[in-house]
Amino acid sequence: MKWMERAASLFKTKQEAVSEPTGRIKVVDPNALNWLYITYNTVEELVRVDQTGKIQPAVMKSYRWVNNRTLEIQIRRNERFPDGEPVTTATVKRAFDEMCRWKNPHPPGTQFNLDPMPTLEISGPDTIRLKFSRPDGFALGKLRAMHIMSSRFWSELGFGYLRQGTGEGLW
């Protein structure tokens, strides 16, 4: 409890607040997996994985294989990003297109890369289709590593694109 009291003492009251920021807040978390906790609690994914490793729908409402190279996914209606923007087929496509820019979309586990990269098309108001050049039986599992962010994320942060011109972890 002492750490909470210490943290509270660092915040200024409304009367003490300054009009302009005067410094930078740094989050210190010694856990080597802290980036995972931040990522998985601030972005959306089409699927999640439960404690037993079973794939569960997240933003994805349902899916079906149209054939052995085409995966059709229905997106849930009324899902929202933390900033309030709706999750739509367009935001899913934007995340996919951004991911396609990367040389290595999932550096910590290249087994999660969709390789070769399929194409993604919007085929209805709540439907997308991933078209693969060859069958990929682990495609649903790989979608766990496809992060979907709001438009604001891409225009303001974008995994370091504005500073580095790339999204391969140089942020």
Peptide bond between residue 30 and the one before it cis (omega within 30 degrees of 0): no
Instruction: Give the CATH class of 30-164.
Output: alpha beta
Q: What angle do CA 63, 64, 69 make, to 5 degrees?
A: 120
pLDDT at 85 over 70: yes
- Separation of alpha carbons 76 and 125, rounded Å: 11
Q: How confident is the model at residue 15 (pLDDT cuts 50, 70, 90)?
A: very low
Q: What is the mean pLDDT of residues 26-55?
A: 78
46: confidence class by pLDDT, cuts 50, 70, 90? very high
Q: Kindly state the percentage of the chain with pLDDT values over 70.
A: 67
Domain boundaries, the chain: 30-164
Q: Is the pLDDT of residue 14 over 50?
A: no
